[in-house]
Amino acid sequence: MNFSQLVEFAGNHSLLVMAFIGVLFLIIVTELNRKRMTMRDVGPMQLTQLVNHQDGMVLDVRDAAVFKQGHIVNAKNIPIEQLPKRLNELENHKDKPIIVCCQRGVTSLRGVNVLTHAGFDKVFNLKGGINGWVADKLPLSKK
């Protein structure tokens, strides 16, 4: 197929070509978003390194009652529904890593988005959440 045939086909089937371009665009955007989010996922080992070597902070977005049942040592608790109103509490960590966690690593993605949109640069999601942390036989604090 040469270029003139391609142009003729596109002219004769403009709706089909537009649909193809739209689907291609959506696939590219979806893949870029997926790649961007997986780059923000960290496991327990990376969390520990970020906290110990880069003065990172763990932000637990679960309810206060669930948080008290067991959380990562020195984690700060701000429930997800309160996070947008309490961003000022995190201002001194704006240029440091913040690792957001929840029970399974899903709700914390909302927290990552809230912080990223508020201008926090180094925001990460604990992959698997507290469940993943416990599955790796890592300790929880009840203080």
Q: What is the pLDDT of residues 79-97, one digit of tens each?
A: 999 999 999 999 999 999 9
Q: Phi, psi (5° rounding) for residue 79?
A: -55, 145
Domain ranges of the chain: 3-37, 41-135
Query: Residue 46 is which amino acid?
Result: Q
Residue pointed to by tokens 């961003």: 87
User: Residue 14: its pLDDT value, please?
Assistant: 87
**Cα 71 from Cα 58, distance rounded (Å):** 10
pLDDT of 61 above 90: yes
pLDDT of 67 above 80: yes
Superfamily of 41-135 according to CATH? Rhodanese-like domain (3.40.250.10)
2-15: per-residue pLDDT in tens? 878 888 888 888 88
User: Residue 107: its pLDDT value, please?
Assistant: 94
